[in-house]
């Protein structure tokens, strides 16, 4: 229900195994978020749940804890399956599940997603797994190859179910569910609740408990403003918005993949460092774009709704609608990515006369009148530049080489003598790792990594510049990304 909580919001009151509670305390998880407080007690009872909750609401921990509580580690068979619309979100879920399960010995989580070689995935499954996280297409592929068996499944989770349906995965999901036991527990999480979700819930669930959690924004946290412009003024209005407001970070939503590329190119030409994220990028490029945006190496992401699904940036200053969406609920979901965790945010929309009907739908849906302004009101600053404070380095070693984030941090702060504050977010993948480094320290970090060791082994490092990798000899100066 959407009202106030009538249950104790402390994790310690849950019927969780002692090992999980101990790890939650170590991780600093003391008080449940609303979606956790409302759904976890029901999930732990083994009942089906359909929950409407936004990205960043804590839903991953909710269903992951339910999965882990129900998993018998002594049985090396697949007991839980989480379906996700994108590889990026699947990776986030797998990482969070492993983190929550740190005290559960021998528990194995396997990620099965498209865009990766299927051979290593088959090998991982042959060695047994308890929890599988993946995209519908690749999961179905493994089922057809008989490299994945779901006859022992206890829990099926559909995360971002509305987006999976939007992406055309309905038949795949139905076929996957058909190959699972009828007595399984099914948990369905969705940011929106269209009729298609109701139909899927009826098809796959048994008397589910409905949980609805409003987006976590304080009243007035998001300032919304619509700029009414002519069609030919759209691009210059976008640039003027950046020059006027000068945000440190922004997410620009476009309607099509082609529009994303064009807008990102135009922003870069205007010295506003931007990357495009859409379905035409291969998986490696998408991973690298997301990494640079989330670790402070690129301040502006230009994305389609599908590509940005699952993206959770707590400190995002501004969301810009380059073009208004047709669906008012999509608009609400877009702007909900700013103004989180007690912060304020800006949601700015460029609206042409042809989009007036869409703006009226948004007014009706939100119950708020649209506050409109004009392009001429924006103060233009031609000298304005927006560059990231960090640069990403890619290292040719990862999880398969037993590399941990602490190993990389130690090598850079101790052996390379970089100050800890110069090191940003570290991401460890199977065969590679990425670390964000302060632009002023990139040369020093790269020089060490070219000739030094991490965890006793020689490594190679490259600069990741605007979605491209580049390696330069340390004898040559490497220009900061602040340089135009």
Evaluate whether 387 touches 299 at the Cβ level (below 8 Å). Answer: yes
* pLDDT value for 131: 97
- Buried-exposed string 70-81: b where 16+ CB fall within 10 A, e elsewhere: ebeeeeeebbbb
Tell me if 412 sits within 8 A of 450, measured CB to CB.
no
Which pLDDT score is estimated for 478?
31
391 token code pair: 């640069």
Q: What per-residue confidence (pLDDT) applies to 355? A: 93
Helix extents (H) in 303-441: 328-335, 356-366, 405-410
Each residue's pLDDT, cut to its tens digit, for the chain (484 residues) gives: 333 344 458 888 888 888 899 899 888 888 888 889 999 999 999 999 999 877 667 899 999 999 999 999 999 999 999 999 888 889 889 999 999 999 898 899 999 988 788 999 999 999 999 999 999 999 999 999 999 999 999 999 999 898 788 767 888 999 999 999 999 999 999 887 778 889 999 999 999 999 987 655 555 678 899 999 998 999 999 999 999 999 999 999 998 999 999 999 999 999 999 999 988 888 788 888 988 998 889 999 999 887 676 565 666 889 999 999 988 888 988 888 787 656 778 999 999 999 999 999 999 988 888 899 988 899 999 899 999 999 999 999 888 888 887 788 888 888 888 888 888 888 888 888 999 999 999 999 998 887 778 888 888 888 987 655 443 323 233 333 332 2
Per-residue pLDDT, 365: 87
- Which residue, 246, 268, 273, 240, is CA-closest to 389? 273
Question: Do the bridges between strand 390-395 and strand 461-465 make them parallel or antiparallel, or are there none, so unpaired?
Answer: antiparallel
* Orientation angle between helical segments 234-245 and 257-269, nearest 10 degrees: 50
> How far apart are the C-alpha atoms of 9 and 119, rounded to whole Å?
44
pLDDT digits (tens, 9 = 90+) for 16-35: 888 899 899 888 888 888 88
- What is the chain's alpha carbon radius of gyration, rounded to the nearest angstrom? 23
Total number of residues shown for the chain: 484
Reported as type and span, the H/E element at residue 152 is none
> Angle at the Cα of 409 (from 404 to 412), degrees rounded to 5?
130
DSSP-assigned beta bridge partners for residue 433:
395, 428
pLDDT of residue 471: 38
Distance CA 352, CA 256 (A): 17
The pLDDT assigned to 162 comes to: 84
Q: Is 337 within 8 Å of 313 (Cβ atoms)?
A: yes
Instruction: Give the SS3 label for residue 227.
Output: strand
Separation CA 353–CA 339 (nearest Å): 28
Alpha helices in 382-426 (DSSP H): 405-410
Round to whole Å and give the CA distance between 361 and 290: 31
Residue 384, pLDDT score: 93
d(CA 416, CA 448): 6
Instruction: Tell me the whole-structure pTM to 2 decimals.
Output: 0.60
Greatest alpha-carbon pair distance for the chain in Å reads: 67
Q: Cβ–Cβ contacts within 10 Å for residue 180, how many?
A: 19
């Amino acid at each position: 229900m959407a009202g106030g909580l009538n249950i104790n919001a402390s994790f310690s009151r849950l019927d969780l195994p002692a090992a999980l509670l101990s790890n939650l305390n170590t991780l600093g998880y003391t008080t449940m978020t609303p979606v956790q407080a409302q759904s976890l007690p029901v999930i732990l009872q083994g009942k089906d749940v359909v929950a409407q909750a936004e990205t960043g609401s804590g839903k991953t921990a909710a269903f992951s804890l339910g999965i882990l509580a129900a998993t018998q580690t002594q049985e090396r068979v697949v007991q839980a399956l989480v379906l996700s619309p994108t590889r990026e979100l699947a990776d986030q879920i797998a990482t969070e599940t492993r983190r929550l399960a740190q005290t559960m010995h021998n528990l194995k989580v396997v990620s099965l997603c498209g865009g990766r070689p299927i051979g290593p995935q088959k090998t991982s499954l042959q060695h047994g797994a308890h929890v599988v996280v993946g995209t519908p297409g690749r999961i179905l592929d493994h089922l057809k190859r008989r490299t994945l068996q779901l006859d022992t499944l206890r829990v099926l989770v559909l995360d971002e179910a509305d987006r999976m349906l939007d992406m055309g995965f309905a038949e795949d999901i139905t076929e996957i569910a058909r190959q699972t036991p009828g007595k399984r527990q099914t948990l369905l999480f969705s940011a929106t609740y269209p009729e298609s979700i109701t139909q899927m819930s009826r098809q796959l669930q048994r008397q589910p408990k409905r949980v609805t959690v409003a987006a976590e924004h304080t009243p007035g946290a998001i300032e919304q403003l619509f700029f009414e412009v002519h069609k030919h003024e759209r691009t210059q209005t976008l640039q003027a918005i950046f020059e006027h407001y000068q945000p440190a970070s922004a997410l620009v939503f476009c309607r099509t993949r082609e529009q994303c590329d064009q807008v990102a190119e135009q922003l870069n030409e205007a010295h506003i460092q931007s990357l495009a994220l859409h379905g035409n990028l291969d998986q490696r490029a998408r991973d690298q774009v997301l990494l640079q945006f989330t670790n402070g190496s690129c301040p502006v992401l230009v994305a389609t709704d599908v590509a940005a699904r699952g993206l959770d940036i707590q400190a995002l200053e501004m969301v810009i609608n380059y073009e208004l969406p047709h669906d008012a609920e999509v608009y609400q979901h877009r702007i909900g990515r700013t103004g989180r965790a007690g912060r304020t945010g800006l949601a700015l929309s460029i609206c042409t006369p042809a989009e007036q009907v869409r703006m009226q739908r948004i007014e009706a849906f939100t119950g708020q009148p649209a506050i409109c302004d004009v392009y001429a009101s924006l103060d233009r600053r031609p000298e304005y530049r927006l560059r990231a404070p960090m640069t990403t380095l890619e290292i040719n070693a990862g999880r398969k080489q037993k590399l941990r984030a602490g190993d990389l941090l130690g090598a850079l702060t101790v052996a390379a003598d970089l100050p800890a504050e110069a090191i940003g977010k570290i991401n460890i993948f199977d065969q590679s790792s990425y670390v964000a480094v302060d632009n002023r320290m990139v040369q020093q970090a790269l020089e060490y990594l070219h000739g030094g060791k991490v965890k006793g082994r020689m490594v190679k490092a490259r600069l990741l510049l605007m979605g491209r990798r580049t390696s330069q000899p340390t004898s040559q100066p490497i220009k900061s990304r602040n340089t135009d």
